[in-house]
Amino acid sequence: MKDTVYVLGGEQTDFQRNWTKEGKTFMSMFREAIQDGLEKVGLTPDEIKKLNKQNRIGVFVGNFDAEQYATQGHLGAFLTEVDPCFYGVPGARYEAACASGSVALDAAQTKLRAKDYDVAIVVGLEIMKTVSSSVGGDFLGTAAYYEKEARGVQFPFPKLFGKLADVILERYKLEEKRFMGALAEISKINYANAKRNPKAQTRSWFMNREHADARGGSFNMAVGGRLCITDCSQVTDGAAVVVLANKNYAEEFAKKKGTKLSAYPKIKGWGHRVAPITFEAKVAESKGEKWILPWTRQTVKDAYDRAGMGTKDIDVFETHDCFTSSEYAAISAFGISQPGKEHEAIEDGVIAFDGKKPINTSGGLIGAGHPVGASGVRMMLDLYKQVTETAGDYQIGGAKNGLMLNIGGSATTNYVFILGK
């Protein structure tokens, strides 16, 4: 017996903010995100107390590395610092590197589908600007196999995804100038999309195709092989919240709000796969395969199969563009193009804001920002906005179904969710 899971709404912080410079801690972010999220949804402290007395609610916190960035673990218990209404509410922290937000979403939906709870509050949170970029880069290295891939390496992840760019070029025998131009176009699109998003980190930054193409030099320095600064996602402070519910509670909630159950989108499909942790092992495993990242492709396929859907049914995509090379690989994983032909979809405008299969209308990790543990929850929130037509200036007209891909490590942990009316 499996129940349907609905998304009732949510909120995110402004990803442009630097909370340390404001003199605020992760707890300030936690409190503000939760209070704003619950207010946006319309879930009151009294309702939380009532649900808690009946053991119908749980809290799920996605966070990668508060132990290093904020010298704090045990984040699942910190809802009790937000409001006394959370005293006694079961809560825990979930971690899967950059997919931490998605593993929290998955744990939440599993409890709801099993009918253990009726409501789940999912929080994704990361405060990253407490340290220098070099120290933070070392912290992020623990999302890879640290001893083998990150120890003593400055900015290990740009180098790992620079290697992905190398493998794409070599495996598919692409013309380098054309391929690098496609990566530059991804950067240009995501920065342009971010300008439409009032919570995006780079909404006031300048970026055009000429800048993204001008790799090397002081304005666009190399950071990992062929990849330069314009190919990278951002170091970001931020949190996002979504509230999930099973069918019975969603119906109750809709009735209280004077609306219908159909006003709320549901999770139609999901996928979760884990690839070998080292990038070298991934490349070795995929030799002879169509996809360089076969487990990423399989995760997408699992979600399509569970939903009874395919690429043709998806109106908007949110993907894990930690680097332009990861978004490039995702295009064929989604089925938008064949492997090795991703550049054609980019050149033809397929993934652009006004294209047939727009990707990262929010700006993605490159444009909107990448607070590591929050990114999966933020993606779900943006899918919710799209399919409920509440995305404002970055709304895709007529969006009925959206798909998100959130990865941890060098495409090690892969999560996909499909959300739709």
How far is 83 from 233, CA to CA, in rounded Å?
A: 33
How far is 20 from 95, CA to CA, in rounded Å?
A: 23
Both tokens of 93, joined, read 């922290």
How far is 193 from 396, CA to CA, in rounded Å?
A: 11
The predicted-structure confidence for 6-37, as pLDDT tens digits, reads as follows 999 999 999 999 999 999 999 999 999 999 99
Residue 333 makes CB contacts below 8 A (sequence gap 6+) with 291, 293, 296, 297, 299, 300, 405
**pLDDT class for 230, splitting at 50, 70, 90?**
very high
Is the pLDDT at 2 greater than 80, yes or no? no
Kindly list the strands in the beta sheet with 119-126, ordered across the sheet, starting from the edge strand earlier in the chain.
91-94, 57-62, 119-126, 238-246, 5-12, 266-274, 413-420, 401-408, 316-318
How many percent of the chain have pLDDT more than 90?
Answer: 98
Residue whose C-alpha is closest to residue 321's, from 298, 342, 347: 342
Is 57 within 8 Å of 119 (Cβ atoms)? yes
3-state secondary structure of 413: strand
The residue range of the domain holding 261 is: 1-420
Is the pLDDT at 38 greater than 80, yes or no? yes
Q: Is 392 exposed, middle or buried (0-12, 13-18, 19+ CB in 10 A)?
A: exposed
Q: How many helices (H) and strands (E) does the chain have?
A: 15, 11
Q: Tokens 């990861």 belong to which residue? A: 326
The predicted-structure confidence for 266-315, as pLDDT tens digits, reads as follows 999 999 999 999 999 999 999 999 999 999 999 999 999 999 999 999 99
DSSP 77: G
Q: What is the pTM of this model?
A: 0.98
What's the whole-number mean pLDDT along residues 198-226? 93
Residues in the chain: 421
When mean pLDDT is compared across 206-220, 314-328, 360-374, the lowest value belongs to 206-220
pLDDT of residue 72: 97
pLDDT of residue 198: 98
How many percent of the chain have pLDDT more than 70?
Answer: 100
Q: Strand 57-62 relative to strand 91-94: parallel, antiparallel, unpaired?
A: parallel
Q: Tokens 């933070």 belong to which residue? A: 136
Q: What's the number of domains the chain is made of?
A: 1
**pLDDT class for 217, splitting at 50, 70, 90?**
confident
pLDDT of residue 124: 98
Is the pLDDT at 1 greater than 60, yes or no? no
Report the mean per-residue pLDDT for the chain. 97
62 forms beta bridges with 94, 124
What's the whole-number mean pLDDT along residues 191-209? 97
The predicted-structure confidence for 131-176, as pLDDT tens digits, reads as follows 999 999 999 999 999 999 999 999 999 999 999 999 999 999 999 9
What is the gyration radius of the CA atoms in the chain, in angstroms?
A: 20
Domain holding 226: CATH number? 3.40.47.10
C-alpha of 250 from chain center: 24
Both tokens of 42, joined, read 């319309």
DSSP 411: T
CB atoms inside a 10 Å sphere around CB 180: 22
**pLDDT class for 98, splitting at 50, 70, 90?**
very high
Report residue 324: phi and psi, to 5°. -60, -30
> Pick the residue with more confidence: 47 or 218?
47
Amino acid at 7: V
pLDDT of residue 11: 98
**pLDDT class for 218, splitting at 50, 70, 90?**
confident
Element holding 45 (H helix, E strand): helix 45-53
pLDDT of residue 209: 94
pLDDT of residue 87: 98
